[in-house]
Structure 1
């Protein structure tokens, strides 16, 4: 089965690449999760759009990643979440997408939610350590403040 990858798939390829995979892997994993689309003539034209979007989000080299790391580590990121009456425990947990949105709202770069790493689920109000993988070998580690909304 011939597919065009829409996201980075470890061990298979990067977004925009045309790959040949077994039918079951493509039909049962890659296509339902939105990690690939079927390679047709029309879809091959979308490769350029996918690569352009990827390039806009991508950190360009280790020097650029180091600059972004320094900027992130100096930022104060606040995430608002709903909590119980005494304000100690959250309803649900803070997601990586919410953290990425809070970083952007605080003046940081637009990050992909998959680059944000936490030490488990964030289910309490307070300060929590997170890491953002910017580039292979460059990871920004800083704290976020979770407050009640």
Structure 2
């Protein structure tokens, strides 16, 4: 029995996939619970249409992420912090600080997208990766300098 899954089903497939299952499993489990629909020509056409829409949307999202990555590369940010001995910062520069600095420059980036392995605790130049899309990682140059006393 050929079915189109509406949702992810463990050990069977992901939503939107065309699967072949035993008739009893399809009739008694998948169809009554609304986890799948019969794979008739109408439903298969609709599945293909939905896949085409999803592919176009994914391509559009990737293109916009690449545009943002390009803007990130062109937008270096400078942060001033109080420093102690050996150019160590009092406190640290976190992903939240980088996100706020980018927001001040007109780039709204979620702080969770900023992939800072650990907070920056010294002065200097750093390249911070920003995950914009599953396939696109932008880099922003962050310069941490001593605050003028």
- Please indicate the TM-score interval, normalised by the length of the shorter structure: 0.5 to 0.7
Report the counterpart of residue 30 of structure 2 in structure 1: none
Determine which of 109, 114, 117 is the counterpart of 2:115: 117
C-alpha distance in 1 between matches for 2:141 and 2:81: 16
1:64-103 to 2 correspondence within 5 Å?
A: 64-84=64-84, 88-103=87-102
1:93 shift after superposition: 1.1
Provide TM-score, normalisation by structure 1.
0.54
Q: Give the alignment's Cα RMSD to 1 decimal.
A: 1.7
Contact 2:125 2:142 in 1 (8 A): yes
1:5-16 to 2 correspondence within 5 Å?
A: none
C-alpha distance in 2 between matches for 1:71 and 1:87: 33
C-alpha distance in 2 between matches for 1:99 and 1:69: 15
Provide TM-score, normalisation by structure 2.
0.54
Q: Which runs of 5+ in 2 are unaligned?
A: 1-59
C-alpha distance in 2 between matches for 1:118 and 1:140: 12
1:118 shift after superposition: 1.9
Contact 2:76 2:140 in 1 (8 A): no
Q: How many matched pairs? A: 88
> Could you say which structure has the larger radius of gyration?
2
Q: Cα distance 1:92–1:99, how it changes in 2: closer, same or farther (>3 A)? A: same
Q: Which runs of 5+ in 1 are unaligned?
A: 1-59
1:11-26 to 2 correspondence within 5 Å?
A: none
1:148 shift after superposition: 2.0
1:98 shift after superposition: 0.4
Contact 1:71 1:108 in 2 (8 A): no
